Amino acid sequence: MKCVDKTTSQKQQTKDEILQRRFDGTFYLYPEFRDLITDLLLAIEQQQMPFRIYETYRTPQRQRKLISLGLSTERDPLENAHVNGLAVDFLIDHRAVRSFEKSEFDKLVTSDLDDRADPISSQYGNVYNLGVNVLGSSEVLPRSVVEDRVVLDFWNNLGLLIERQYPQLVWGGSLGRKEGQLIGVDPPHVEFRDARRLIRTKRALAEMRAMGNPGVEEIK
């Protein structure tokens, strides 16, 4: 009996690990969005831009943990674009930034969410979320904190590519930018322009279920 219990426990642990895993492939994305991202990746390669995908589809269970860690302000995991297969996050390859330590990059791309519990203030978070913005107040003007101008230019070039060639996509670096800020609130984030409607109507979630995406079958 103890052996059976141990095996059951191991299986549950393996399942839990899968549900917390960071996926960086395009297989689980919403089909129309997947085609656009595949084409965008080809354009990035052709233009020799130093980007790689950090995360694509995200399980509801992983999103719930992000919320618990304070890394997401959404209250409902099922309203997140990643959970619906409608968003991806990019990273700059560390080899393109001489001031950036590979060891710090390795920390950043870990799948352990606890290692990224404070990505904004950490040493390596500024490359992931470069253009960290001071929103401003009655006493402080809004501005962007720039650690490396080269990195800022990389992100803006990605935004320019998306703006010119992929009108069906929305770049997070163009969102929430205030006067005095050089970049928007989430430059690594790329989302399907129709994402909000597909989430609201639950069409995307139905597609995730039909595709058999990990974690979705456990959501009632």
* Domains of the chain by start residue, with CATH: 2-218 (3.30.1380.10)
Contacts of 147 (CB under 8 A, 6+ apart): 126, 127, 130
What percent of the chain lies above the pLDDT cut of 70? 76
User: What tens digit of pLDDT does each residue of 53-95 get?
Assistant: 989 999 999 999 888 887 777 889 999 999 999 999 998 877 7
CA–CA separation, 121 vs 108, rounded Å?
A: 13
pLDDT exceeds 90 at position 133: no
Please state whether beta strands 189-192 and 87-92 pair in parallel, antiparallel, or not at all (unpaired): antiparallel
- For residue 123, the model assigns a pLDDT of 38
pLDDT exceeds 60 at position 1: no
CA–CA separation, 48 vs 157, rounded Å?
A: 11
> Could you report how far apart the first and last alpha carbons of the chain are, in Å?
32
Residue 212 or residue 183, greater confidence: 212
Going across the sheet that includes 189-192, the strands are 51-55, 87-92, 189-192, 169-171
Contacts of 105 (CB under 8 A, 6+ apart): 91, 94, 124, 127
CA–CA separation, 119 vs 115, rounded Å?
A: 9
pLDDT exceeds 80 at position 179: yes
CA–CA separation, 57 vs 209, rounded Å?
A: 13
Q: Facing residues of 90 across strands?
A: 53
Residues shown for the chain: 220
What is the arithmetic mean of pLDDT over 136-141? 82
